[in-house]
Amino acid sequence: MDKYFSVKLLFESTATSSKNTGKIFEERIFLLNGKSKEAVCDVVNQHFQPDSYENADGGINTVELVKILDVFELVDDLSESLNLKEVYSRYILFDKPTTAEEAIELYSLDK
């Protein structure tokens, strides 16, 4: 029986044009179903092949998957409504008292 997984991925976009050259990193979270974490990773790696396209400046943008950051099995039953189903959770531990504002700033949680 297939299980549901949340997969957190990091993509890199490289733009080249006469006006601008640079890199952008993008973090994305996808829902997938599969028999195991390994099977889900195989699907991700097969699906997200490098893709290039012409940008508005006449240059070329190349987007590619650079890393699977996290894969975890969802414990919620998705046969019902997807409303308020958790897709990502991360514990952030501190050795000393820390405010919510400090945690947000340190880990860019508001971005």
Residue range 78-96: mean pLDDT, rounded: 69
Answer whether 0.75 is exceeded by the pTM.
no
pLDDT class of 87 with cuts at 50, 70, 90: low
Which pLDDT tens digit goes with each residue over 26-85? Answer: 888 888 989 999 999 999 999 999 999 998 888 889 999 999 988 988 876 667 666 656
82-93 average pLDDT score: 65
Classify each residue of 24-61 as buried b or exposed e, where b means 16 or more C-beta atoms within 10 Å of its C-beta.
Answer: eeeeeeeebebeeeeebbeebeeebeeeeeeeeeeeeb
Q: Label residue 103 by pLDDT band (50, 70, 90).
A: confident
